[in-house]
């Protein structure tokens, strides 16, 4: 039996959603930065524009998670080695719980530390933070939202024993890695420009 059933449309839909989300929010944020399109749609209020993007990104995240769960249901479950079923199962379940719990801890605490606009690309709307957040979870990883989300996908795949889930988790990790190549230098330049402008006014 194949470990991954590539004939299932639910697998393709899940992978497409995983790929689409970071592409969408990067394109939407860049469009806002250059044209203020979302601010204009929000009646000129950049905070409302950011809230609208936040709602859209959050909703797409929920849809992505639903599609992931449905894809896993359609996929084969790996078989434990004969004679070691109980111990392997317990170890994998424990790893699943730890990955999912720690992943969600990273996501929730980073959202708490950043707030809505800090989490959902407020920088591109001109809503800048006064200083870099350095407390937990940012003292553990520079990108807790992305790492936490990846760990949550991994934990779910391990819990249900789905090799396809591991493949989709790898897709999540790759897409976030690619997203960071676009986001980090651009965001850094936004703050560098603010500092340069402040220096000129002094």
The per-residue pLDDT for 1 is: 61
Tokens at 92, concatenated:
């994998």
2 belongs to a structural domain: no
**Torsion angle, alpha carbons of 52, 38, 190, 188, to 10:** 50
Tokens at 24, concatenated:
């969408």
DSSP states of 142-197: S-HHHHHHHHHHHHHHHHHT-HHHHHHHHHHHHHHHHHHHHHHHHHHHHHHHHHHH
Q: What angle do CA 62, 67, 71 make, to 5 degrees?
A: 150
User: Cβ-count burial of 149 within 10 angstroms (0-12 exposed, 13-18 middle, 19+ buried)?
Assistant: buried
Condensed to tens digits (0 to 9), the pLDDT of residues 12-53 reads 999 999 999 999 999 999 999 999 999 999 999 999 999 999
User: Does residue 71 surpass a pLDDT of 70?
Assistant: yes
Count the domains in the chain: 1
Closest CA to 152 of 109, 92, 95, 101: 101
User: Cβ-count burial of 188 within 10 angstroms (0-12 exposed, 13-18 middle, 19+ buried)?
Assistant: exposed
Q: pLDDT > 90: what percent of the chain?
A: 85
Condensed to tens digits (0 to 9), the pLDDT of residues 113-169 reads 999 999 999 999 999 998 888 899 999 999 999 999 999 999 999 999 999 999 999
Element of type H or E holding 44? none
User: Does residue 105 surpass a pLDDT of 70?
Assistant: yes
* Comparison of pLDDT for 195 and 176, the residue scoring more: 176
4 belongs to a structural domain: no
**Residue-number span of the structural domain to which 140 is assigned:** 9-201
Residue whose pair of structure tokens reads 């950043």 in the numeric block? 114
The per-residue pLDDT for 25 is: 97
Instruction: Give whole-number Cα distances, 184 to 123, 180, 190, in Å.
Output: 12, 5, 10
Q: pLDDT > 70: what percent of the chain?
A: 96
Tokens at 30, concatenated:
């860049």
Q: Are 153 and 169 in contact (CB under 8 A)?
A: yes
C-alpha to C-alpha distance for 14 and 20, rounded to whole angstroms = 10
C-alpha to C-alpha distance for 123 and 143, rounded to whole angstroms = 16
User: Does residue 90 surpass a pLDDT of 80?
Assistant: yes
């Amino acid at each position: 039996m194949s470990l991954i059933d590539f004939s299932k449309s639910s697998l393709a839909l899940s992978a497409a959603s995983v790929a689409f989300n970071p592409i969408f929010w990067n394109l939407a944020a860049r469009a806002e930065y250059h044209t203020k399109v979302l601010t204009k749609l929000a009646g000129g209020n950049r905070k409302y524009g950011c809230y609208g993007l936040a709602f859209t990104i959050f909703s797409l995240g929920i849809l992505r998670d639903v599609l992931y769960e449905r894809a896993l249901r359609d996929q084969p479950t790996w078989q434990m080695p004969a004679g070691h079923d109980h111990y392997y199962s317990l170890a994998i379940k424990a790893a699943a719980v730890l990955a999912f719990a720690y992943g969600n801890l990273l996501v929730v605490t980073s959202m708490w530390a950043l707030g809505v606009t800090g989490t959902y690309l407020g920088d591109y709307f001109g809503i800048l933070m006064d200083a870099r957040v350095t407390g937990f979870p940012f003292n553990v990883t520079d990108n807790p939202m992305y790492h936490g989300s990846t760990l949550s996908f991994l934990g779910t795949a391990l819990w249900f024993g789905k090799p396809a889930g591991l493949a989709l988790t790898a897709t999540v990790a790759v897409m976030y890695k690619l997203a960071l190549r676009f986001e980090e230098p651009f965001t850094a330049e936004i703050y560098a420009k603010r500092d340069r402008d402040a220096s000129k006014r002094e």
